[in-house]
Amino acid sequence: MEKTIEKPLSIGQYIFSQPREIQPLLQKMREIIKNVAPEAVEVISYSMPAFKFHGKILCYFAAHKNHIGFYATPSANIFFAEELKDYKTSKGTIQFPYEKPLPYNLIEKIVLYKANELLISAPKKKK
């Protein structure tokens, strides 16, 4: 899979730089994350689309040759291990193959889990 932009400056630019048939899947990932965590800020980190939530990375996603990589850190993968058994995973990675439909509900649950985890660990502001 060839990328036309080496270092994208925005998630929109990243998505547009990917093959046309992959773009709707990436856009759907973006929409799911924004819907679950509307306060999250879109960023590019490590040349991948990412969302920051209360100053910390909520998740990343990226197009690869045969799958979309979704990176929500190891705690989410451990918590959802049973639901992820049909996908290739590693420490902090989930691979959603292009030939299968994106598991929208599972992605929503993972993003919500991670957002709650970050809220719990966020330093409390002094009054």
Predicted confidence (pLDDT) per residue in 63-72, tens digit:
999 999 999 9
Distance (Å, whole) CA 51 – CA 20: 23
> Whole-prediction pTM value?
0.88
pLDDT at residue 98 greater than cutoff 90? yes
Which domains does the chain possess? 11-120 (3.90.1150.200)
Q: Check if the beta carbon of residue 3 is closer than 8 Å to that of residue 40.
A: no
- Token look-up 């689309």 returns 49
Extract the tokens encoding 44: 């590019």
Q: Indicate the length of the chain as a whole number.
A: 127
pLDDT at residue 125 greater than cutoff 70? no
Long-range contact set of residues 42-48: C-beta below 8 Å, sequence gap at least 24: 42/10, 42/11, 44/7, 44/8, 44/9, 44/10, 44/11, 44/14, 47/6, 47/7, 47/8, 48/14
